[in-house]
Chain A
Amino acid sequence: MFKLANQLTKALVVAGLSATFVTTAFAQSKFSGIGREATKAEVAAWDIDVRPDFKGLPKGSGSTLRGQEVWESRCASCHGTFGESNEVFTPIVGGTTKEDVKTGRVASLTSEKQPQRTTLMKVATVSTLWDYIYRAMPWNAPRTLSVDDTYAVLGYILSMAEIVPDEFTLSDKNIADVQKLMPNRNGMTQSHGLWNEGGKPDVKATACMTDCSKHVTIGSFLPDYARNAHDNLALQNRPYGPYRGVDTTKPPMARLPGKMTTVAMGADSITPAGLFKKHNCSTCHAPASRAIGPAISEVAAKYKGQADAMKKLHQKVKVGGAGVWGSIPMPPHAHVPEGDIDVLVKWMLTGQ
């Protein structure tokens, strides 16, 4: 407590609070009536983190067979059948070898040619994956997997990467042994100056003021294709004042523009594409490619020419549906205003 009182004094002096306040031996008595003791059940409900030493890991187990069932019904739509998909998120499985499992260092990480880093190429601690899955997966329905299914699906992922055998049961009993097989288990370092405020920086530059670099060379320019890749910058700057945005839909001007002329400009109302994003439709649907749900173009094609398509799809959006486009159900969207649903459905069907 003594040490704490010192720390607290420092913190509170910095905070500009009265010094007399910290002379109270126990600050908690100062704040009577504020906060209450947490119950054991409450702590158990929320304290779900699992550390590298497996503190916090619940007892349980799951087979790769069960893991495959969970994977295919809950995970594969985003991550691909083999954990290799790069469609929605970066891949989980790939880039590790049997040799890496022996050495604990993923050799492909030293190659500049490796296009992507998969999760299993990076992660050193199997506890992280257990915690990640149990805490935050599936992505659109986090914390809906049981403890045993978390073991099962983690075991299945590890089996896809050939870290554990095809038929394997991962449990709290053997997870420490599996840790010894993690392909990048020796691939992390905490030895750097960016962990603490007083850490030593990597580089020491000098503040030269004159004749510092007589031959200035430009090592990299903005590529031509990137000029308008973030839409028209003329519309992302104030249309008055000293600095206008460049009209990036056009090649650079030949000369200074000089005097400016006047036109009116302002915000438009929200577009169907804006509604599509606002109501999170884009989480599961893309215009022309299949994501978690069908592509807009697929839906449009399926319902083309049907007289009651508007009504049917309006209902699908509102109350949800299942079975038309595979195993992942469309959740209900009762919170989306009726008018917005009409605009969205019309837009899906007609592009207008």
Chain B
Amino acid sequence: MTVEKKSRVFGRLRRAPENFVSEQFASDVYEHGMDETRRGFLRKSFVTALGAATAGGAVSSALAADGEKVILEKQQWQTTLGQPVAARPYGAPSQWEAALQRRESPGLTRVSAASVAFAPLQGFFGIITPNGLHFERHHQGWYDIDPAQHRLMVNGLVKQEKVFTMDDLMRLPSVSRIHFIECGANTGLEWGNVAVPSVQYTHGMLSCCEFTGVPLSTLLDMCGADLKKGKYILAEGGDGSGMTRTIPLDAALKDTLVCWAMNGEMLRPENGYPLRLVVPGVQGVSWVKWLRRIEVGDMPYASKDEAVHYIDLLPSGLHRQYTTIQECKSVITTPSGGQQLLDKGFYNISGMAWSGRGKIKHVDISVDGGNNWRRARLETPVLSKAITRFNMDWTWDGSPAILMSRATDETGYVQPMVKQLREVRGTRSIYHNNSIQAWKLDANGELSNVQVG
């Protein structure tokens, strides 16, 4: 390739609107061509553009003396007819958003059907997770179950053991609530030390949706649940894994929902279509997907995912069983690890806070590694057991910084530093790491994952 290295401005592409990568990245591609990683992502149009630039020689400048070409020149999307309605009957994100996808953490699991795909929190706005980017965790793969063939059974300590079809359930009075769901193992890779590079992998087993369904209490009442002898319920999934989790009856009656919808449409298959349990404030594994059965019982069940997995090892060698509540936690999502600031100046620091014990009361932000803190703005709505979005104005002077956020919930509980948790739980407990996350910002604008203290 004979293009002059300094010529970093590429010509306008005719077939697609332009997009941007860093100057260094662009010049690297320019200089070295495409490596294996780039090959998969860069479109043919990019190659075409390079070819055209090479052949044509003259590359026009993006910013001419009298202004930007994108303003001064008529663009293709202004001078030609656009797409008709329903060209894509089920809408999809813009082609320019392809970078934001659910991704696995290489090496975390050996088989993808018993694995996790992390949500790209670094690209999210507000509090709602788009359905296509909701994190995934399956224990024995996922199925797209025919709703006409799906049944929910309620049995055990009830007057009448019942079977409900989807037709039955969807006739009942429904409610819609916004709640976060977080895997108990979220941030679990970082108990001992920093292990992963970006917020997608440190905190991406987190999502928040509006769920629609019927309160579990309604179904238990319809079956005449024995609330004297009954102390727990068992929720069971209808897939091959047959996920089973014990839930204390008071939580089951308080705010647990049997849901068929997320964010206004039916559940996605990866999230339990057509029916899942929603247990607000409780770790994701208890939100049983493809829910087929609720049993009322008088003792905990010690199922596989509460006696072999999802148990927390303490320094004493004891394991904690039935650790389910997701305590108050927050993380700055932009800017965050693996991101790059382009220049000094104004930035909006933004992130998410949530608590399994109620509403977020406030969030504090430090840019000096935890020495001084400022209160962030909480954006509405601030809901119980839901993600709350926080923001703070910040002008970066170009010097190194360490960004941290610390949430407090309505019970007064303050999100701790990881060393405080380690003093009680050691470094091998995997689950329920709700410690303060720190991102180190270097003078070159690059952010990376660090642990303070």
Residues of A within 8 A of B (CB): 1, 3-4, 7-8, 10-12, 14-17, 21, 27-28, 31, 34-38, 42-43, 46-49, 51-53, 87-89, 105-107, 109-110, 112, 117, 119, 122-125, 127-129, 131-132, 135-136, 139, 142-143, 184, 187-190, 192-197, 199, 201-214, 216-223, 226-227, 229-240, 242-250, 252-268, 271, 277, 280, 282-283
Stretch at the interface among B80-88, B127-135, B266-274, B311-319: B311-319
Q: Is the CB of A239 within 8 A of B21?
A: yes
Most B C-beta atoms less than 10 A away, residue of A11, A16, A122, A258: A11
Asked if B112 lies at the interface with its beta carbon under 8 angstroms from chain A, I say: yes
Known: A207-B408, A230-B201, A268-B43; 9 extra A-B contacts, CB below 8 A, are A49-B236, A189-B321, A199-B325, A223-B194, A242-B348, A247-B24, A257-B340, A266-B96, A283-B111
Q: Is the CB of A235 within 8 A of B41?
A: yes
Chain B, interface residues (CB within 8 Å), range: 35 or more
Secondary structure dominating the interface of A: loop
Cα of A210 to Cα of B162 in the assembled complex, Å? 59
In the assembled complex, how far is the CB of residue B354 from the closest CB belonging to chain A, in whole angstroms? 14
Q: Which residues of B contact A221 (CB under 8 A)?
A: 194, 440, 448-450
Q: Which residues of B contact A193 (CB under 8 A)?
A: 325
Cα of A143 to Cα of B238 in the assembled complex, Å? 12
In the assembled complex, how far is the CB of residue A31 from the closest CB belonging to chain B, in whole angstroms? 6
Contact of A187 among B19, B155, B160, B318 (CB under 8 A): B318
Q: Is the CB of B217 within 8 A of A261?
A: no
Q: Is the CB of A88 within 8 A of B340?
A: no
Q: Is the CB of B23 within 8 A of A258?
A: yes
Contact of A247 among B28, B368, B444 (CB under 8 A): B28
Q: How many A-B residue pairs have CB under 8 A?
A: 491
19 contacts between A and B (CB under 8 A): A35-B168, A105-B317, A106-B317, A110-B315, A194-B320, A201-B413, A230-B200, A233-B338, A240-B96, A242-B342, A244-B20, A248-B338, A252-B442, A253-B445, A258-B343, A263-B46, A266-B19, A266-B41, A266-B43
Q: A237-B99, A238-B99, A244-B342 known; A195 and B195 CB under 8 Å?
A: no
Contact of A250 among B28, B105, B301, B307 (CB under 8 A): B28
Contact of B98 among A125, A240, A266 (CB under 8 A): A266
Q: Is the CB of B321 within 8 A of A197?
A: no
Q: A212-B371, A219-B451, A226-B196 known; A125 and B242 CB under 8 Å?
A: no
Q: Which residues of B contact A237 (CB under 8 A)?
A: 99-100, 122-123, 338-339
Q: A27-B218, A257-B23, A267-B98 known; A246 and B304 CB under 8 Å?
A: no
Contact of B253 among A11, A48, A205, A231 (CB under 8 A): A11
Q: Is the CB of B440 within 8 A of A143?
A: no
Q: Is the CB of A234 within 8 A of B421?
A: no
Q: A128-B307, A262-B62 known; A242 and B162 CB under 8 Å?
A: no
Q: Is the CB of B43 within 8 A of A194?
A: no
